[in-house]
Structures are given as C-alpha cells and as structure tokens.
Amino acid sequence: MAIQVEFIVRGARSSTTDALRWYATHRISVALRRFAHRIRRVTVRLVDENGPRRGVDSRCSIAAELVDGGRLIVVHATTAWPFTAITLAAARLADVLRRDAGRHGPRRRIARRVSDKSRGNEGSGIASLR
C-alpha cells in the first residue's frame, strides 16, 4: 500500500524543491513502511524561516492523518539543513506512531505460572488467563 504524500515548500528554488520532494518521499516511505496500513495521508511542509540569511532556519513539519478516526499526528524538526530536518521529522513521526500503536494496539494475555500448592491441586502449574 502506497502512502499518499503531499509536499509543500516555501522559500526554495525549483531545482532544490524537486530534490527535496524526492528525498522527503523516500525518507518518509522508509520510516513509515511498517505503519502504512494505519496512515491515510501524509503532508510535509518545509519552510525556510530566515529566507536567504543563514542559521538554524529549515523547519520541517510532517502531519499524518490516520485511518482510524481521522486523527492527526504532527511532528516538527528545525535544523540548519532542510535534508536533515526531513530526516529528523520522519524519525520522530515513526517514533510517535510506534508508541501510539503500543498504546492503542491489541493487548495480549499471558498465562501466569502459579504454585500448585497454593491452588490445592496437582497439575501443570499453569493458571488460567486473566
């Protein structure tokens, strides 16, 4: 299943925009591959906050709209280089989705080993699932 990626860039040249678009699509598809079944759409916004002045000014915001209920998860990263901002934001989004899946995922029930003497009978020592 392919993830639909919308890419918005402000303050960059068109030749740079194409390279950033390809890099962002590749980096996001790699980072979110295992969560593709949960994602409806991804929007990437890349903004050069200071314009032509130097400094820590490339901000990447990635918003993922989830399939279950249409929830929106947004992460940000600001670095000196736009490619680094994309990489960092994609890793943050993957981390948030991993934690979210653990929080909302199915719970597994585990059999507990119990002492046979405490139950008063002889047996395998495996208690029922609780």
Give the span between the Cα atoms of 72 and 61, in whole angstroms.
12
Nearest Cα neighbor of 60 from 96, 24, 31 is 24
Mean pLDDT of 73-94: 94
- Specify the DSSP class assigned to residue 75: E
The string of pLDDT tens digits covering residues 18-35 is 888 899 999 998 999 999
For the cut 90, the answer to whether the pLDDT of residue 50 exceeds it is no
36-40, 52-56, 79-83: the lowest-pLDDT one: 52-56
For the cut 60, the answer to whether the pLDDT of residue 65 exceeds it is yes
**Residue entry with tokens 């947004």:** 74
Mean pLDDT of 42-61: 82
Domain 4-104 sits in which CATH superfamily?
Ribosome hibernation promotion factor-like (3.30.160.100)
Tell me the CA distances in angstroms from 85 to 48, 55, 61, one per residue in order: 11, 13, 9
pLDDT confidence bin for 73, thresholds 50/70/90: very high
pLDDT confidence bin for 68, thresholds 50/70/90: confident
On average, the pLDDT of the chain sits at 79
Work out the angle at residue 42's Cα, subtended by the Cα atoms of residues 36 and 47, and round it to the nearest 5 degrees. Answer: 145
